[in-house]
Amino acid sequence: MEIRLIDIRKHFGPVKANDGITLTVPAGTIQGILGENGAGKSTLMKILSGYQHADAGRIELDGRPVHMRSPADAIRHGVGMLHQDPLDFPPMRVVDNLLIGAPGRLIPQRREAVSAVAGLAGSLGLSIDLKAEVGSLTVGERQQLELLRLLWLGARVLILDEPTTGISARQRQELFDTLRRLAAQGKTILFVSHKLEEVEELCTRVAVLRQGRLVGEALPPFRVERLVGMMFEREVTPGERFACTPGKTLLRLAGLGAEHGRIRLEGLDLEVKAGETIGLAGMEGSGQSLLLQTCAGLRPVTHGRIYLDGADLTGKTYRQFKKRGVAYVPATRLEEGLIPGLSLADHFLLTENKPGFFINRERGRRTAEERIARFNIKGTPTSPVESLSGGNQQRALLALVEPGSKLMLLEHPTRGLDVESVIYLWSKLKERCGRGEAIIFTSSDLDELLRYSDRILVFFAGRVSEPLDAATTTVDELGELIGGASRSGDPVDAVSAWPGGDGRAPDDAGCHASGAPENGDA
Amino acid sequence: MPERQPLPSRPAPSSRRRFGRRTWTDLGLQSGALVLAFLLTSVILLVAGAPPFQAYVEIAKGAAASFTDISNVLVAWVPLLLASAGVLVTFAAGLWNIGVEGQIVLGAVLTTWVLRLLQDTSLPPAFIVVLAIIAGIVGGALWAALAGILKTFGGVNEIFGGLGLNFVATALTLWLIFGPWKRPGIGSMSGTEPFPEQLGLPTVGGERLSLWSLGLGIVAVIAVYVLLERTHVGLRLKAVGLNQRAAFLLGVPTWQYALLAFLLCGGLAGLAGAVQVTGVYHRLIPSISSGYGFLGLMIGMLIAYKAIWVAPVALFFAALNIGSIQLPIVLKLDSTLSGVLQGALVLFVLLVEGARQRYSRRAPSTMVAGPVPGTSPPDDVGAV
Ligand SMILES: Nc1ncnc2c1ncn2[C@@H]1O[C@H](COP(=O)(O)OP(=O)(O)OP(=O)(O)O)[C@@H](O)[C@H]1O
Ligand SMILES: [Mg+2]
């Protein structure tokens, strides 16, 4: 289906999220949508899929003007948007999930639905167990399910807003294959991403947004520098690796054991020096989050001890860890990290040290303004956090980490950030390392792991590797290790997948629900 | 570890962004709701064969015709003020304190208990009254704490806990009135033996109105307003109410704050009970709370949890209640008519609020916050 967006405008107060965007996407295209954080990508996609309403502008599908008042309306016109939010998935079976939103008959036609969707899945080469509980699916599987549901409802335009965060490399490949197949059938795909190499690999056209306007389009072969130039109006270079001058031991794990759901950590020994950055690599849900949360005092230690600055913190509460300078930043922004309904200034007031009894609004505003400037957040002190763009929410989350912490435990710290912001953010983080703070972070981006870590631990199917020296490891090597190859000798047996269980996914990051480590994956 | 308790269930989902500035359109919509409520009530009156306009005139007369009427309205205003101020605190923390009714009762019971205990001693009466009122506050707070503890440590939803405790509170009063505290001779529904006059709050000009209780009510509302809008405690309560998990990770001791909200609300409810005993009835009667707790919850919903609106709305409700007392005599109508009107009002206001949210998601340049679960898309990369 051909899509024409004509002069789409959407203002939020003074912010022109979409400022007259005109874009034509021919049928059968996989259209990449690029742009820095806050450029207006999500807004445009939400308008196209009926979640938001444009202030002005028209939408034409196959030459016919359409008005979409709601997502249900949009799907009737054949436009479906795919988003991942496990919190929206109630504990129900896959098939029942499918029937939600199916055009109304009083008695759900379960059998029909099953055979139709199974047929669809088969034709796309996907395999999904329709009788399973939704909660037991991995993020990638949920995505496939949602995709099938939209297709079954008749979607001919599929919108994917940053769909590749949190799915495994194999699942990403599956997703891409499926999308290519759909495009070949004449379906139109809109693909929003900050990962240029994915756009390069998948897309057959690219549009770049900047400050609510369309600033350029490109056809393959894409030149990454040119795309980046359009996105930021300047060149972006990652710069040199940061050198680390490790100080005294800050964190020491002695034979640490912990478990949650089917994931178990055993006998992990690790010393983290002041100034050091440790990257945790591996498939989502292989124990990385469990390690971070255990180090934050959020999960009980089953064996061994945790020392911070020489003090034994084993068994202490999260708040005690926090008081001693351990900062934990969760991956899910609006679920665990930020408080929708409160403004940016409120958030900073909430995390103030020694706040006193009465709120000092003036001080709150000043702190907020200072952090907004320092972390380059697009927003004002009074902006409710839920009104920020995804990337700006991420910056706000990191801006909340108190100055003067000792150890930062970061889950996917740059998830959803644009290329330039990733570089900027890491320069800020590394500044803190220079002042003697240490970082342990998880990431699914191998380049990020290699570039910013000093040492890397690889989690795979029940084991944690010996720390790797990030400077001498290559992307390919790391990729293979994540996929299960061992480097020199056998990795230490420190994580083990919990056999049996109740078939539900381990709830690793509090909100993450991903399957057991996928053996032989990638 | 209690720090990992399940999320408290939230009051109306829209409470999440109720802390913004109220605009004129909102006010217009609320007045529209008021008109609709009166229309619905009029229809009901017509069906019942009564002239609606005359009924409203009678209510107005009943509420403001004489000094006695006005003072009676103010007498009803005080417990309403206290109860609604209290529920605002729990609403802020994301809690439905249905138990507020029972907390009023327990306040009254403990006040009565202290008065009975000390009435024959030689302590100065004023001192006894103050002690009794404090006991009432403590009683309400403890009863609320019970609901809070059931929730935090027992995993009992505060709505069910509160309902159960309400029943227990009512049963307790009845038992006391017909058992250990019964009047010499026979226990009766008219309550316990009245206390001597000096053991009550001083009243004005022969009416039941006490400036002391009026002052307490007003101070309580102002205190709650300041607490919620101007202090860090209030901000943390809101944080807990809006997103308990994130509040916890940001360093707010969440269950402690939830419990604090219960304690504060219970304390205010207990104060309401104490005022009913020391200022109005001078004894414990079976229905000492007179439904003020539930009415307070309704007011809380009606004013969208904004403390600034407590006073006028509570006054309006009090006037409705008192004004309709005359209806059975004049128009042969049941005095529960005010209940119909109040119920209709709350329903319409909530309805209009729902419509407003729908509308505002569409309207240009309005905040599309959309945190109502399931109605708005998560941000692109919001969660994995
Ligand atoms: N509901 C809202 N209320 C106020 N401002 C909003 C709202 N939604 C978006 N905005 C603003 O509109 C601009 C564009 O936001 P949008 O979410 O479309 O950006 P984006 O391109 O998706 O960015 P990101 O890469 O960070 O996800 C941002 O400045 C954002 O703050
Ligand atoms: Mg976005």
Query: So what's the pLDDT on residue A149?
Result: 85
- Output the CA A38–ligand 2 centroid distance in Å: 7
Q: Residue B207 above 70 pLDDT?
A: yes
| HSE, side-chain direction, 13 A CA sphere, residue A96 | 9
Is the CB of B306 inside 8 Å of chain A's CB atoms? no
Using a CB-CB cut-off of 8 Å, the residues of chain A touching B364 are: 11, 53, 55
pLDDT at A493: 41
CATH number of residue A34's parent domain: 3.40.50.300
**Sequence-distant (≥ 6) Cβ neighbours of residue A323 within 8 angstroms:** none
Q: What is the pLDDT of residue A521?
A: 35
* Nearest atom within ligand 1 for CA of residue A39: 21
Q: Does some domain include residue A480?
A: no
Cα–Cα distance list, B259 to A347, B89, B146, B330 (Å): 22, 11, 9, 47
Contact B250 A351 (CB under 8 A): yes
- For the segment A505-520, the average pLDDT, to the nearest whole number, is 35
User: With pLDDT > 70 as the criterion, what percentage of chain B qualifies?
Assistant: 85
What ranges in B13-99 are assigned the alpha helix state H? Answer: 24-47, 52-64, 67-92
Q: Tell me which residue of B290, B270, B283, B264 sits closest to B106, measured CA to CA.
A: B270
The pair of structure tokens assigned to A208 is: 């770049």
* Residues A207/A217, Cβ–Cβ less than 8 Å: yes
Query: pLDDT class for A506, splitting at 50, 70, 90?
Result: very low
> Cα(first)–Cα(last) distance of chain A, in Å?
33
Give the Cα separation of A17 and A389 in Å (integer): 10
Percent of chain A, pLDDT > 90?
A: 49
- Cβ contact, residue pair B380, A83, below 8 Å: yes
Angle (CA) A495-A497-A503 rounded to 5° is 150
CB–CB contact A162 B378 (8 Å): no
Alpha-carbon distance of B90 to A241, in angstroms, equals 51
Interface test with B, best of A299, A318, A339, A411 (most B CBs within 10 A): A339
Does residue A84 contact residue A166 with C-beta atoms inside 8 Å? yes
Cβ neighbours of A355 in B, within 8 Å: 232
Q: What is the DSSP letter of A93?
A: B
A337 C-beta closer than 6 A to ligand 1: no
d(CA A241, CA A237): 12
Mean pLDDT along residues B71-91: 95
The pLDDT assigned to A11 comes to 94
- Cβ of A384 within 8 Å of Cβ of B367? The answer is yes
Sequence-distant (6+) residues with CB within 8 A of A106 are none
Adjacency order of strands within the sheet including A30-35: A79-82, A157-161, A188-192, A30-35, A205-210, A213-218
Convert the pLDDT of each residue in A396-414 to its tens digit. 999 998 777 899 999 999 8
CB-based contact A254:A269 (threshold 8 Å): yes
Inter-chain touch B231–A165, beta carbons under 8 Å: no
Q: Chain B within 8 Å of A100 (Cβ-Cβ)?
A: no
Out of A9, A43, A161, mutate this one to test ligand 1's pocket (max ligand atoms within 8 Å of CB): namely: A43
Q: What average pLDDT does this structure show over B342-370?
A: 61
Which chain B residue's Cα is nearest to A400?
Answer: B250
Provide the pLDDT for residue A82: 82
Any domain includes A347: no
Q: Which of A328, A334, A384 sits opposite B379 (nearest CB)?
A: A334
d(CA A376, CA A513): 31
The confidence score (pLDDT) of residue B142 equals: 97
Which residue minimizes the CA distance to atom 24 of ligand 1?
A37
Contacts of A349 in chain B (CB under 8 A): 232, 235
DSSP A58: E
Shortest distance, CA B287 to any CA of chain A (angstroms) = 39
Residues of chain A numbered 3-22 and touching chain B (CB < 8 Å): 11-13
- Split into its structural domains, chain A has a count of 1
The residues, any chain, with a CB within 8 Å of residue A354's CB and separated by 6 or more, are: none
Query: What pLDDT, in 10s, does the model give residues A417-445?
Result: 898 889 989 998 998 999 999 999 999 88
Domains of chain B, CATH where assigned: 50-355 (1.10.3470)
Please state the rounded mean pLDDT for residues A333-337: 86
Identify the band that residue A106 occupies on the pLDDT scale cut at 50, 70 and 90. low
pLDDT at A90 over 90: no
Instruction: Please list every residue in chain B whose beta carbon sits closer than 8 Å to the beta carbon of residue A511.
Output: 383-384
Find out whether the peptide bond into A221 is cis, omega within 30 degrees of 0: yes
List of chain B residues whose C-beta atoms are within 8 Å of the C-beta of residue A368: none
Q: How far is the CA of A392 from the centre of ligand 2 (A)?
A: 9
Residue A145, min C-alpha distance to chain B (Å) = 15
Which residue range forms the structural domain that includes residue A32?
A: 3-232
Query: Rounded distance, CA A186 to CA A484, Å?
Result: 38
Where is average pLDDT lowest: A165-174, B22-31, B53-62, B321-330?
Answer: B22-31
Query: Does the pLDDT of residue B20 top 50, yes or no?
Result: no
Query: Is residue A124, in this structure, part of any structural domain at all?
Result: yes
Q: Running DSSP on this structure, what letter comes out for residue A229? A: H
Which of residues A454 and A234 earns the better pLDDT score?
Answer: A454
Per-residue pLDDT of A262-288, as tens digits, reads: 788 888 999 999 999 999 998 877 889
- pLDDT greater than 60 at residue A166: yes
- The pLDDT of residue B187 is 67
A212 lines ligand 1 (CB under 6 A): no
In 3-state terms, what secondary structure has residue B332? coil
Residue scoring higher pLDDT (A451 or B383): A451
Q: Is residue A73 part of a domain?
A: yes
- Residue A101, pLDDT score: 61
Cβ-based neighbours of A128, under 8 Å, separated by 6 or more: A94, A121, A141, A144, A145, A148
Q: Which residues of A78-97 are buried (b: 16+ CB within 10 A; e: fewer)?
A: bbbbbbbbbebbeeebbbeb
What 3-state DSSP class applies to A156? coil
What is the C-alpha separation between A514 and A139, in angstroms, rounded?
6
**Domain annotation covers residue A503:** no
Q: Which strand (E) or helix (H) includes residue B230?
A: helix B211-230
| Tens-place pLDDT, residues A47-61 | 999 989 999 999 999
* Residue A501 domain-assigned (yes or no): no
CA distance A108 to A91: 18
CA distance B252 to B248: 5
Whether A167 maps to a domain, the answer reads: yes
DSSP codes joined into one string, B193-223: PPPPGGGS---STTSS--HHHHHHHHHHHHH
Tell how far the Cα of B147 is from the centroid of ligand 2, in angstroms. Answer: 42
C-alpha gyration radius of chain B: 22
Asked if residue B348 lies in contact with residue B341, where contact means CB atoms within 8 angstroms, the answer is no
pLDDT grade for B360, boundaries at 50, 70 and 90: low
CB-CB neighbours of A341 under 10 Å: 22
In the prediction, which pLDDT does A102 show? 62
Say what the pLDDT of residue A141 is: 77
With 0-12 / 13-18 / 19 or more C-beta atoms within 10 angstroms meaning exposed / middle / buried, residue A402 is middle
pLDDT, tens only, A189-229: 999 999 888 999 999 999 999 999 999 999 988 888 889 99
Q: Give B161 to chain A, closest Cα distance, Å.
A: 25
Q: Which of B107, B287, B128 is nearest to B201 (CA)?
A: B128
Question: What residues of B are in contact with residue A317 (Cβ under 8 Å)?
Answer: 1, 3
Q: Which segment of A250-254, A296-300, A377-381, B42-46 scores lowest on mean pLDDT?
A: B42-46
Beta-bridged to residue A214, according to DSSP, are A209
| Cβ contact A319–B251 (<8 Å) | yes
Helix axes B232-242, B254-275, angle to 10 degrees: 110
* CB of A38 sitting under 6 A from ligand 1: yes
Rg over CA atoms, chain A: 23
A34 lines ligand 1 (CB under 6 A): no
- A350 CB near a chain B CB, below 8 Å? yes
Confidence check: pLDDT of B299 > 70? yes
Interface of B with A in 207-266 (CB under 8 A): 230-236, 238-239, 242-243, 245-253
Which of A15, A383, A414 maximizes ligand 1 atoms within 8 Å of its Cβ, making it the mutation to test the pocket? Answer: A15
Q: Which helix (H) or strand (E) holds B276?
A: none
Q: Structure pTM?
A: 0.83
Q: Is A64 part of any domain?
A: yes
- What was the pLDDT predicted at A31? 96
As for the ipTM of the complex, it is 0.83
Residue with tokens 């196959």: A62
pLDDT digits (tens, 9 = 90+) for A367-388: 999 999 999 899 999 999 989 9
Best CA proximity match to A270, nearest among A257, A297, A252, A284: A252
Q: Most confidently modeled of A438-442, B203-207, B323-327?
A: A438-442
The winner for highest mean pLDDT among A117-121, B11-15, B88-92 is: B88-92
Kindly report, residue by residue over B265-292, the tens digit of the pLDDT.
999 999 999 999 999 999 999 989 888 9
- Residue A61 · residue A39 · CB < 8 Å: no
DSSP codes, A72-85: HHHHHTTEEEE---
**How far apart are alpha carbons B250 and B252 in whole angstroms?**
6
Q: Which of B250, B361, B371, B93 is nearest to A334 (CA)?
A: B371
What pLDDT is recorded for position B9? 37
Asked if residue A327 has pLDDT above 90, the reply is: yes
Q: Is B21 on the interface with A (CB under 8 A)?
A: no
- Residues linked to residue A34 through DSSP beta bridges, in sequence order: A208
